Structure 1
Amino acid sequence: MTRVCLIGTADCTLQYELLSRETSREALSTYDLERPFENSLALDTVSVGAAVSLLNDLNWYLTRFVDEALVQEPSISDDEWLSRDLARELRNGEVKPGETAEFCKIYGLERVGPDGGSMQEEAAEGSSQAGATASKGGSEPARNDTSDSVTAATEDSSDTAATSAGDGGSVWRLVEPLYVRRTDGELPTYDLRAVEKTLVVRLTEAEHSP
């Protein structure tokens, strides 16, 4: 299974933004949603092609509410992720699996405490931000905040996040990416701050050196 993970921008509540709008909610309705990191949403698809297609379907929302769209393909790596652009190149045959490892960025992962609220409460807080985020341009797809499907989806995502977070409900937050190149199969050590864990994202050359 190919995994997709969306990391929300700092000025929005990602689950609220995606699950309160009919188009994105329907696109996500067939997937089991999880929250592996703070303000994130993750799911499993059947292939890199399906992952890229889903991200294309959600593109309106990605440009407004998502800071990172990541894809993880087990046949390439069990613990490193691909950027959306690199996953697209892989799907299109523009790059071979063995050619994806050179350019990377490494995120630090820091543990943050529980927010003390449910996903429904996060959604309520997110409603006050909706006007500001919608003003980023383009017409906003229809929203239905009070539907049973939104409530059920946010409850399921919250339960999974609480289960996976552990340690009293704390979650992991992505911090300060370090851009690196793999040399002789090895990545440099993340040294921007002291962190317990790191997350590696493989990039296209253009993303590494814009």
Structure 2
Amino acid sequence: MTAVCIVGKQDTTLPDDLYAYETAYRALATYDPTSPWANALAVETVSLGTAVSLLNDLDWYLARVARDAFVRDPSVSEREWLSRPLARALRDGHADPEETVNRLRVYGVDDGRLVDPTMVLRGDAQEGAYERSEYDDTVVVRVTREEFS
């Protein structure tokens, strides 16, 4: 299953703020949302294409309540997430997953919340853990060249 994660802006409470919009509520009604982090909402979809389509359907609402949105597709990586633009490029055949593993946005996990995204350039093409000792854990999101610049 392909997962979609929406990270709320600092002053929002997901899913309440997202579900306040009836159209967003309808778009998410067929999914079973979870909260992997206190400031995030996640759902599982059947494919990368479905995940990107869901984010496209929610675009207007995401602009108002979300800080970020990303996708994890097991055919690309079991642990690392893909930024929304990268997921779209992969779906459309405009990117190769093996060429995109070196540019990352690494979130710290502090008190159960995703915080302080930092851009990291990985030295090799291997997946790995990123030590950010000031945080309990990290979440790695692969990004496009344009997002990294």
TM over 0.5: yes
Q: 2:27 aligns to what?
A: 27
Q: How many residues align?
A: 148
Q: Which residue of 2 aligns with 1:50?
A: 50
Bigger relative contact order (CA 8 A; separation at least 6): 1
Residue aligned with 1:104, SS: strand
- Identity, in percent, stands at 48
TM alignment of 1:2-81, pairs within 5 A: 2-81=2-81
Q: CA deviation at 1:103?
A: 0.6
- Provide Cα deviations, 1:24-68, integer angstroms capped at 9, x if missing partner: 111000000101111211000011100000000000101111001
More strand by share: 2
Structure 2: which 5+ runs fail to align? none
Q: Which moved more, 1:72-81 or 1:95-104?
A: 95-104
State the Cα distance separating 1:100 from its structure 2 match.
Answer: 2.2
Task: Please state how far the C-alpha of 1:92 moved relative to its aligned partner.
Answer: 0.7
The Cα offsets for residues 122-168 of structure 1, whole Å up to 9 and x where unpaired, read as xxxxxxxxxxxxxxxxxxxxxxxxxxxxxxxxxxxxxxxxxxxxxxx
Long gaps (5+) in structure 1: 112-171
Give the root-mean-square deviation of aligned CA atoms: 1.5
- 2:130–2:138 Cα contact (<8 Å) kept: no
Q: Report the TM-score when normalising by structure 2.
A: 0.93
**Equivalent position amino acid for 1:61 in 2:** Y
Cα distance in structure 2, aligned partners of 1:194 and 1:84: 27
Flag the structure with larger Rg: 1
- Residue 113 of structure 2, aligned match among 155, 173, 187: 173
Is contact 2:102–2:124 with CA below 8 Å preserved after alignment?
A: no
Task: Check whether the contact 2:81–2:141 (CA below 8 A) recurs between aligned residues.
Answer: yes
- In structure 2, what is the equivalent of residue 182 of structure 1? 122
What is the identity, as a one-letter code, of the residue corresponding to 1:78?
A: E
Q: 2-side partners of 1:20 and 1:90: how far apart?
A: 31
1:206 is matched with which residue? 146
